[in-house]
A and B are shown apart, each in its own frame.
Chain A
Amino acid sequence: MTDYLLQLINVALVLAVSPALVGLIRWLKARMQNRRGAPIWQPYFELRKLFGKEVVVSDTASWVFRATPYIVFASTLAVALLVPLVRIPVPVALGSDLIVVVYLLLLGTFFLALAGLDTGSPFGGMGSSREMTVAALAEPTIALAIFSLAVGAGSTDLGRIVAETLNAPTTVAAPGHLLGFAALFIVMLAETGRLPVDNPSTHLELTMIHEAMILEYSGRYLALIEWASGMKLFIFLSLLANLYVPWGIATSNDPAGLAVGLLALLGKVVVLGCAIAALETRLAKLRLFRVPELLSVSFVLALLAVTSSFVVR
């Protein structure tokens, strides 16, 4: 029972902390542009404001448009319930499986892309088309990265992968591990709509990917989608952290261990967030048709990761 309760706390944690992560990255980027920048809790203010605002819906839109924010948010929450954040193992009846996590996130993308088409706006269609292109090309990389992890752990169960790496600390420096990390990092940038694949702060419709699909959303719908994409970013970063550098994660329900686990998680996510901010300061957005090249780089990295994990096994 405690296990399930603690896993529920995961959800609360992701809900609570993810806007701050978005705020942190924005603040860091502002500082690197030598600006003062908004405080890191700015996204909370924005969400609160959006929840209070009127909702304007296109008269072309069908129920799909109205249901999508809830589906996106709910599927992200479900992912938050499945992944190990502060402690392992995840209660087995939930089925904490890496493939389930990936496809649940794809479910949200699927509906967001439909919502983009629903209003009949040219921008929405453009965003959907591009988002699905990127998602489709990112998918094989994710699968191969999962495979390279599963070879080591003999399972795609997230808790077991983490436990396996904890047991055999030297695997962290194994080439398969490092290559897999690099591959997943690139895919993470693509899936969460960060530079150089997509510019989260662009104002020019023709360069948009993710933003173009949600141009029509307002008020609480927009709030749900923005919040969900913040949670997706947080979950991706914490997965990267816990799968490849699991130290600190609690292995029992001992309060001190849990506290350490929480701090370790936040620390690792902050470090990755800093890396994103630094990258986004350094990199320009790629042309849309150069993105597949980047993704094929990540695919090759993942393929090498699998191969080397077989060879080194």
Chain B
Amino acid sequence: MASLFSKIFRTGLVTEPFSPVDADVERVLEAISARTRNLLGRALAIREVDAGSCNGCEIEISGITGPTYDASQFGIHFVASPRHADMLLVTGPVTRNMELPLRKTYEATPDPKLVVAVGDCARTCGVFAGSYAIVGSVDTVIPVDVFVDGCPPTPTAILTGILAALDRR
């Protein structure tokens, strides 16, 4: 027990003290903070929906909750039920099996709600395009507020997308 806490103490805060290179990251985060304050009272609950992704995007998404990016400092957190959520973060091309669940998730989310589609597949279906198992891009199933490009997009890009979605409202 002592070793655990001494390690915590020795490691200290690892959330990035954003270097000049990442100045835009800090700007983005601060801007998100300001926008969420106006729109959703500085508290944004996200429900992640994997509509058929290869899980590359999920790795990056879990990055924004990690110590380095720590989205929670701006009041962004992930929730277990769409009933608790303000925003859906959808990844992947929509497969046939995930079409109905995606629609239901959208329907289950109380207003006001936002949808951010993360990754190239969500916009173009990527390498899966044309497959018999694919329904299409996310916006063929539910209305999308913002697409985040990249295969996979970086955490910074995802955060920028979240900001853009908040901006649209």
Contacts and interface: CB of A to CB of B under 8 A. Distances in A.
A216 B108 CA distance: 9
A33 B78 CA distance: 17
B70 A48 contact: no
Interface residues of A, number: 35
A219 B110 contact: yes
A45 B78 contact: no
Contacts of A52: 41
A48 B41 contact: yes
Nearest to A123: B81
Interface string A27-68: 000111111111100100110110011111000000000000
B80 A215 contact: yes
Contacts of A218: 83-84, 110
B75 A282 contact: no
Interface size class of B (residues with CB under 8 A): 35 or more
Contact of B73 (A36, A45, A49, A204): A36
Interface string B99-110: 000000000111
Interface string B6-44: 001001111100000000000000000000010011110
Interface of A: 30-39, 42, 45-46, 48-49, 52-56, 202-205, 208, 211, 215-219, 222, 278, 281-282
Given A35-B66, A46-B43, 8 more contacts: A31-B13, A36-B13, A45-B37, A45-B42, A45-B75, A53-B110, A215-B84, A278-B5
29 contacts: A32-B8, A33-B8, A33-B67, A34-B14, A34-B15, A35-B66, A36-B73, A37-B73, A38-B74, A42-B42, A45-B37, A45-B41, A46-B43, A46-B45, A48-B41, A49-B40, A49-B41, A49-B43, A49-B86, A52-B41, A53-B86, A54-B110, A56-B83, A205-B80, A215-B81, A217-B84, A222-B83, A281-B5, A282-B4
